[in-house]
């Protein structure tokens, strides 16, 4: 029953990650579901409208009390994560950093420098890469690349979700390298050329990080590398679509279709995919 709940949360929360994860062996896939269930529930508590800070704080307190006491919380999502955290020896500070970044969305709406953005990304995405490295029992030498992959993917999410985040009053991309005063649609259409230049520049930043992350693929056993590379390739695909016409972020949420994800995974399985 808990597994079904995790899978439902995962499938409804991220098509790319869900269908890519289907290429993991079952035991690893179950652990990924447990991880994603926890992080998605926490993320939804700060993103769903109307935002209710009390619900997030209650979730965090429930986790903290259960972690400190060693006793079950009674919440199946939290308890499954705690079991996973203990079994796979997650560093508890990673979880605290994740929850800190989620809480950030309740108290600060913008990131005004790249350093601020990277602090947020560490907790919201780089630690997810670290969790995944522990789930796959990768060597510690892989951790910088795992974190970098999380960073790269999150940055594309920021670019893809500009319209959605603006409605929430949030901005994760710092404007220090542009004359734009905001990233809302009206400002973008007034200076379409500058908006497009800025977005392509930030996609270039993503590509640099993605290249660094890919240098760590050799640490991942092939049976685990297939889903990781499939997900990464879908983010590369998303970046390409947006780079062609950055204004598309105001027209639709750029996401690959299920068939594209599965075709790429199968191509990696038989060794004919070439990444980004």
What pLDDT score was predicted for residue 19?
Answer: 87
Residue 276 lies in a domain: no
Instruction: With respect to residue 264, please indicate whether it lies within any of the assigned structural domains.
Output: yes
Q: Per-residue pLDDT for 1 more than 60?
A: no
Determine the pLDDT at residue 36: 94
Indicate the average pLDDT of the chain: 93
Say if 235 falls within a structural domain: yes
Residue 89 CB-density burial (10 A; 0-12 exposed, 13-18 middle, 19+ buried): exposed
Range of the structural domain that residue 210 is part of: 2-269
Calculate the CA 67 to chain-centre distance: 24
**Predicted local confidence at residue 52, as pLDDT:** 84
Query: Does a structural domain hold residue 208?
Result: yes
Asked whether residue 63 is assigned to any structural domain, the reply reads yes
Determine the Cα–Cα distance for residues 228 and 159; give it in Å rounded to an integer: 21
Cα 262 to Cα 200: distance, rounded to the nearest angstrom:
27
d(CA 237, CA 231): 10
pLDDT of res. 18: 85
pLDDT at residue 194 tops 70: yes
* pLDDT at site 62: 98
pLDDT at residue 247 in the model: 98
pLDDT for residue 276: 67
Per the domain annotation, does 274 fall within a domain? no
- pTM for the model stands at 0.93
Percentage of the chain beyond pLDDT 70 is 96
Q: Tell me if 176 sits within 8 A of 114, measured CB to CB.
A: yes
In a domain, 70, yes or no: yes
Please count the CA atoms within 13 angstroms of the CA of 87 that sit on its side-chain side: 13
Give me the percent of the chain exceeding a pLDDT of 90: 82
Please state, as a whole number, how many other Cβ atoms lie within 10 Å of the Cβ of residue 206: 23
Q: Which CATH number characterizes residue 163's domain?
A: 1.10.600.10
Mean pLDDT, residues 102-122: 92
Q: How many domains does the chain have?
A: 1
Lowest mean pLDDT among 17-21, 156-160, 218-222, 249-253: 17-21
Q: For 47, how many CA atoms within 13 A lie in the half-sphere containing its CB?
A: 13
Mean pLDDT of 138-157: 98
In a domain, 140, yes or no: yes
Report phi then psi at 178, rounded to 5: -150, 155
């Amino acid at each position: 029953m808990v597994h079904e709940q995790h899978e439902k949360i995962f499938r409804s929360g991220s098509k790319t990650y869900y269908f890519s994860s289907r290429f993991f062996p079952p035991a690893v896939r179950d652990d990924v579901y447990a991880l994603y269930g926890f992080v998605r529930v926490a993320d939804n508590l700060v993103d769903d409208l109307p935002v209710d800070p009390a619900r997030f704080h209650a979730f965090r307190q429930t986790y903290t009390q259960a972690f400190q006491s060693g006793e079950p919380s009674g919440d199946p999502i939290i308890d499954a994560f705690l079991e996973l955290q203990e079994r796979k020896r997650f560093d508890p500070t990673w979880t605290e950093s994740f929850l800190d970044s989620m809480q950030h969305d309740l108290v600060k709406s913008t990131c005004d420098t790249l350093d601020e953005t990277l602090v947020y990304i560490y907790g919201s995405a780089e630690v997810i890469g670290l969790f995944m490295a522990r789930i796959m029992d990768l060597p510690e030498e892989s951790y910088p690349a795992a974190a970098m992959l999380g960073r790269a993917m999150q940055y594309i999410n920021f670019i893809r979700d500009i319209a959605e985040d603006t409605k929430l009053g949030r901005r994760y991309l710092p404007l220090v390298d542009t004359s734009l005063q905001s990233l809302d649609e009206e400002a973008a259409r007034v200076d379409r050329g500058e908006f497009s230049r800025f977005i392509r520049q930030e996609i270039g930043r993503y590509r640099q990080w993605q290249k660094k992350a890919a240098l760590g693929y050799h640490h991942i056993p092939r049976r685990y590398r297939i889903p990781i590379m499939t997900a990464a390739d879908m983010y590369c695909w998303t970046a390409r679509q947006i780079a062609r016409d950055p204004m598309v972020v105001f027209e639709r949420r750029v996401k690959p279709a299920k068939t594209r994800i599965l075709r790429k995974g199968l191509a990696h399985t038989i060794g004919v995919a070439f990444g980004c």
